[in-house]
Structure 1
């Protein structure tokens, strides 16, 4: 059966089941589940964080099915404008990494699924320079993307899709350590994103190809609206395709398509990383039916060099947004991937 027929069958029969679908899926080859958030410490300091769990399963068609479990971890001190990162890459050998229905783990990183609406995430890298332990509690309002959670990334190539949901506005409390200092987190809003794709691992994972790129942003506005904007490029020369998801404060979900419905354009001059020399567009204008966001980073130096794990270098950091009339504001996270050609992240 070809992949397009598999896709059609998925449209007919797939639906999410929680809390089971919060964990990884053994019959899929490519998956990631990540958390980002804006949090506030007892000291008054503001922080942003990223904790991303990945899984890639290989298969030779026989009994050999190794799995890789990279993890990316970052904390941004939004008050002092400082950024630290850590990462790991473990295999499913000797119980160093793996998953089951209530847990995903890799080395010093762990995601515990306490219930459909409550999670505990831990990061304790050996350097001790940074760490976190956060309890995340949701309000029950999980946000599916696309029809029944089938998120098509390209109208030109419908084979490029994922099963995709978000969990916005996770109430966040716990503890972080940053540059050796312990901070008690009293409040905050976290955002969970979870995607999986590629039923068969005999083909190269489409979404993770080194030449693909995307600009992704999640926003939570002060009125209770949740937004995701996604600008996908199948290759460096391909024209970007833009999609959007909006859930209003009353819970109504709208999906926006490229063109007159949603536009996502970089504005101003790109920022050049001193470390990697990559240029990133960090300021954006996003137009959607009934409104417009002007997005900017809280500070520029929030690049993640994943060369030691996924072989990808990208920008992921805390941002704020205002509408053109200055009547509404939002906070969220921006991810920019594919601005420098790198090896496919499974090539070690």
Structure 2
């Protein structure tokens, strides 16, 4: 039995345990836990937000394994179509970053794990004019992806994987400070995504290595269904691989992992970022067994330049969707990673 088969078989015996697994995992080298949501203030303004906690562990084969804790934070003002973001990266030195079973923190950014179904998130930008303080409460229905949480990202390379679960429909209240004013958040829904991978995997392909990218969409529809669609892109002109998870209003989960089950296509022209000149496909048509989604951004300018912390530039923002077949609507978030800035004319 080869090394890859041994690795896969060993991974299948992992089982989630909450609330413990809401926190980070010291045995793994790459991990992220993030929250996105659509929220509304007492003044009627509607916002989207992203708060992402990362953990990167570098191993040189010795006993010294330094860790860094980047954070990405953004608020999208859907009412005025304005976008603000902030980022930070801290080390464990001096106790300014780290994690425990009850918390993940990095500088002025913090996730408190109150219980299996309750969270408290706080974010304070360096400039102090952008902040967030939210309490989140779930309904007990965590959404597990793949086989018992083992999410294979590529059928061609099954050793490219993560442990992956989501927590949709977290009821959200609190406050935020943006555009020079404080807003009291009285309602909204947040979506938590948590993934970790890369355990002793220097010599095999992983999510963080190579010329890879992905298109990820989470949607919660108005009838109680939750969806994740994931389009994994590898270099070399290979056909993207598409995976999906659906949980219906009754709580039954369906996983789509075979080629052709989902069609996920871009629609229309790409949007070109005026800041980075990167072009992103912001409009999508997704066909899945039994339905179809037309996905579009609430507004275009929701690009995150994380060059200073994670060396990535990506688009992540609030979207809405219409199902023309079943006459349903949905709200969610779209993430587009791995789109590159075109070369300048003198570089060709």
TM-score between the two structures when normalised by the length of structure 2: 0.95
Q: In the alignment, which residue of structure 2 is the partner of 1:70?
A: 70
Please give the alpha-carbon distance, in whole angstroms, between the structure 2 residues aligned to 1:4 and 1:97: 36
Please give the alpha-carbon distance, in whole angstroms, between the structure 1 residues aligned to 2:201 and 2:25: 13
Residues 179 and 4 of structure 1, relative CA distance in 2, 3 Å threshold: farther
Q: Is the 8 A contact 2:223 2:328 kept in 1?
A: yes
Q: Is the 8 A contact 2:241 2:259 kept in 1?
A: no
Q: In the alignment, which residue of structure 2 is the partner of 1:54?
A: 54
Q: Is the 8 A contact 2:15 2:148 kept in 1?
A: yes
Q: In the alignment, which residue of structure 2 is the partner of 1:218?
A: 218
Please give the alpha-carbon distance, in whole angstroms, between the structure 1 residues aligned to 2:236 and 2:44: 42
Q: In the alignment, which residue of structure 2 is the partner of 1:20?
A: 20
Residues 5 and 331 of structure 1, relative CA distance in 2, 3 Å threshold: same
1:7 is aligned to 2:8? yes
Residues 299 and 210 of structure 1, relative CA distance in 2, 3 Å threshold: farther
- What is the DSSP-based 3-state SS (H/G/I as helix, E as strand, rest coil) of the residue aligned with 2:10? helix
Q: In the alignment, which residue of structure 2 is the partner of 1:147?
A: 147
TM-score between the two structures when normalised by the length of structure 1: 0.95
- What is the DSSP-based 3-state SS (H/G/I as helix, E as strand, rest coil) of the residue aligned with 2:95? coil
Q: Is the 8 A contact 2:119 2:137 kept in 1?
A: yes
Q: In the alignment, which residue of structure 2 is the partner of 1:32?
A: 32
Q: Is the 8 A contact 1:39 1:189 kept in 2?
A: yes
Return 5+ residue gaps in structure 2 as ranges: 343-348
Q: In the alignment, which residue of structure 2 is the partner of 1:296?
A: 296
Please give the alpha-carbon distance, in whole angstroms, between the structure 2 residues aligned to 1:255 and 1:38: 25
Deviation at 1:341, TM superposition (A): 6.9
- What is the DSSP-based 3-state SS (H/G/I as helix, E as strand, rest coil) of the residue aligned with 1:94? helix
Q: Is the 8 A contact 1:59 1:202 kept in 2?
A: no
Q: Is the 8 A contact 1:135 1:173 kept in 2?
A: yes
Residues 257 and 249 of structure 1, relative CA distance in 2, 3 Å threshold: same
Please give the residue correspondences for 1:258-269 in structure 2 after superposition, counting only pairs within 5 Å: 258-269=258-269
Q: In the alignment, which residue of structure 2 is the partner of 1:122?
A: 122
Please give the residue correspondences for 1:235-274 in structure 2 after superposition, counting only pairs within 5 Å: 235=235, 237-274=237-274
1:305 is aligned to 2:305? yes
- What is the DSSP-based 3-state SS (H/G/I as helix, E as strand, rest coil) of the residue aligned with 1:36? strand
List, as ranges, runs of 4+ consecutive aligned residues in structure 1 with deviation greater than 2 Å. 1-4, 201-205, 234-238, 257-260
Please give the alpha-carbon distance, in whole angstroms, between the structure 1 residues aligned to 2:204 and 2:8: 16
Return 5+ residue gaps in structure 1 as ranges: 343-348
- What is the DSSP-based 3-state SS (H/G/I as helix, E as strand, rest coil) of the residue aligned with 2:194? strand
- What is the DSSP-based 3-state SS (H/G/I as helix, E as strand, rest coil) of the residue aligned with 2:314? strand
Deviation at 1:59, TM superposition (A): 1.5
Please give the residue correspondences for 1:75-114 in structure 2 after superposition, counting only pairs within 5 Å: 75-114=75-114
